[in-house]
Structure 1
Amino acid sequence: MEIHYRLERPIAMDVHLRVEGFTVLLGLSGEGKSTLLKAIAGLLPASGTPFGGLPVQQRPIGYLPQGYGLFPHLRAWENVAFPLLPGADRHREAMDLLARMGLADWSERYPATLSGGQRQRVALARALARRPQLLLLDEPTSALDMATRDEILEDLIAEMRQLQIPVLAVTHDPHLATMADRMAVLAGGTIVQEGTPRELFAEPANEAVARLVGFRNIFPATVASASSTGVWVSGPGWRLQTAPRPWARPGMAVAVGIRSEEVEIQDAAAGGENALCLQVAGLRDEGLALRLKLRGALSLDVLLPRLRQRDGGIIDPSGSLQVYMAPEHVHLFPPQGSADDQPREGG
């Protein structure tokens, strides 16, 4: 399903994206993600397709706002039955939908007595009661606890795929995007990149996308040389090789991005290209992983999973380390506003 909506208030946006299966729209808070969903649902004045020009009640859309919007004075089955036509066997239909969500035994409960995941399922059953052609989910992870979030989301996504209803979920949580069939990134009122999660996480188009998908190491650089075999970039006291970039030109100001988990620790004797000796400026445990702050010619954030921690994770907090970054893990982003920094498909 192709979606193209334009609106001026409360934020100017011109958004064109494709929804396939479970699609996640990722963006920072304040970018207008919730505003876009309200526009598609007909709750805000906007022009676009599909469903443009139809009043809210005629749009075949299921909409789950943040907090789910359940009526606190109605039982679970009554919430689900609310959008059903009068005269129909509303109780039976509502119970069928709750059973599909695994909540038949909770049908007489009020929202205040349900967990976050249960309330989400009730709200989803109510949305499905409209027999929608499109489901809109606003920050679906916001009311879920970390212990059960993945299990609940996996069940819900599997249910949506079985129903073959396209879903557009908006979030600032990159973890949700990893579970999607397709994702897009919203920045500056437009889509700056879309494709599969694998494509966007592996090859973000620009700095904005890189930060949203978890890059902690992003710094300015200058292209020193470029050829069909690779690009060399440099800054004060350092020089790194990256994969070839057709758009890179010597002297061009660019940004370099490196994932924390793709920085390798190596023996000082190894040396070689893309190796730097840096000082340990801080370290802390993150569960079974170890996060390092390194300083020197470059300042790097490094995440060492359990299997990659040297000497069982014992690192001198005041010592130095030699790090290595494979050229394919050194990402290069064009100058903001350049032709190569425009919205694009995939990686």
Structure 2
Amino acid sequence: MEIRYQIRRPIRLEAHLTVEGFTVLLGESGAGKSTLLKALAGLLPAEGTPFSGLPPERRPVGYLPQDLALFPHLRAWENVAFPLKDPPREARRKALLLLERVGLLEHAEKRPHQLSGGQRQRVALARALARGAELLLLDEPTSNLDALTRTQVLAELVDLIRKEGLPTLAVSHDPDLVGFADRLAVLLEGRIVQEGPTPEVLARPAESRVARLLGYANVFPVEVGEGGVWAGGVFLRLPLPPWARPGARAFLAVRAEEVLVVRPDRPKPQENTLQGTLETLYPEGLGHRGRFQGPLTLEILLPRHVQERLRLRPGQPLEVVLKPRYLHLMPR
């Protein structure tokens, strides 16, 4: 589904993107992500396609705001049946069938406060299906989920959405949601600056701001040379895109987990090796995050098995290598 919308208030925003499967629109807080969803749902004035000019009640849209907008005094099946125009008995029958489709039939008589965050999301999804939605809109779907179960709940929700074949646009500032996306778009300063299949956008961010938003911890200015770039007084070799001419200024990005520590028991790499000091190192989940200080200042993220083998500690000398295939060059 192609979306082309122009919004003038409460902020100016121009959005052109394609929604296929589970599509995530990523942007910083205040960028206008929720505003776009409200405009698509008909809750804010906007111009464009699809659905422009239709009142909210006539739009084939399932809109799930952050609080999901479930009626607290109604049971699960009653929330699902609410948009149905059938007689009460038929509406209940259809609502129960929809709850069965989302795996919640046994919870049909429960009220929202008796359900988990993931179960409430599925009730809201069933209600959207009851409306005959052609497009599902999710506003910050990770915001009300428990950190311990978030990944499982999201995986189940996205799987249900895919089984229903319902195009979905989820907006968030949470990079973790990107891992579930079939397609990814990035919103900056009131416009879509990049979109495409998720692996392509993740591997080739179009500019430095996109790279940072996508989790590239190391982004720094460079100057293009012959067959590589100059950065911090050292030359780094990497394949250059056609636009990168010698003397051009650019940004180079590399993920923290792709800054590799040179192991003393293995042959030393012949290129892109930097010598310096491990300035800091601290646990992060099952890994260790640190800061390398040398010709360049780099964040590094070590898997647990690497740290267990090397037993690195702050203050010690360290060599790291920046492999060309992990380096990404962007215009400046």
- Common fold: TM-score over 0.5: yes
Task: Tell me the amino acid that sits aligned with residue 41 of structure 1.
Answer: A
Return the offset for 1:261.
0.8
Measured in 2, the distance between the counterparts of 1:39 and 1:75 equals: 29
Return the offset for 1:151.
1.9
**Paired residues of 1:306 and 1:313 also in contact (CA < 8 A):** no
- 2:67 corresponds to: 67
Runs of 4 or more, structure 1, over 4 Å off, are: none
Return the offset for 1:270.
2.1
Superposed counterparts of 1:1-347, under 5 Å: 1-87=1-87, 89-225=90-226, 230=227, 232-267=228-263, 270=268, 272-309=270-307, 312-335=309-332
Q: Quick one: structure 1 residues 252 and 76, their matched pair in 2 at CA, closer, same or farther if it must change by over 3 Å?
A: same
Deviates more, 1:39-48 or 1:283-292: 283-292
TM-score of the superposition, structure 1-length normalised? 0.91
Q: Deviations over 1:265-289 (max 9, x none)?
A: 1147726321110111100112321
Task: Tell me the amino acid that sits aligned with residue 317 of structure 1.
Answer: P
**Paired residues of 1:241 and 1:330 also in contact (CA < 8 A):** no
Measured in 1, the distance between the counterparts of 2:220 and 2:128 equals: 44
Q: For residue 146 of structure 1, give the secondary structure of its aligned residue in structure 2.
A: coil
Measured in 2, the distance between the counterparts of 1:196 and 1:279 equals: 38
Give the length in aligned residue pairs: 329
Q: For residue 170 of structure 1, give the secondary structure of its aligned residue in structure 2.
A: strand
Q: Quick one: structure 1 residues 274 and 189, their matched pair in 2 at CA, closer, same or farther if it must change by over 3 Å?
A: same
Q: For residue 24 of structure 1, give the secondary structure of its aligned residue in structure 2.
A: strand
Return the offset for 1:157.
1.5
Q: For residue 63 of structure 1, give the secondary structure of its aligned residue in structure 2.
A: strand
Measured in 1, the distance between the counterparts of 2:269 and 2:62 equals: 58
Task: Tell me the amino acid that sits aligned with residue 312 of structure 1.
Answer: R
Measured in 1, the distance between the counterparts of 2:233 and 2:272 equals: 12
Q: For residue 148 of structure 2, give the secondary structure of its aligned residue in structure 1.
A: helix
Q: Which runs of 5+ in 1 are unaligned?
A: 336-347
Q: Deviations over 1:17-65 (max 9, x none)?
A: 1111111111111111100001111110000101111111111111101
Return the offset for 1:251.
2.0
Q: For residue 105 of structure 1, give the secondary structure of its aligned residue in structure 2.
A: helix
Return the offset for 1:15.
0.6
Return the offset for 1:194.
1.1
RMSD of aligned Cα (Å): 1.5
**Paired residues of 2:290 and 2:299 also in contact (CA < 8 A):** yes
TM-score of the superposition, structure 2-length normalised? 0.95
Measured in 1, the distance between the counterparts of 2:262 and 2:232 equals: 22
Return the offset for 1:302.
0.5
Q: Which runs of 5+ in 2 are unaligned?
A: none
Return the offset for 1:250.
2.1
Return the offset for 1:295.
1.0
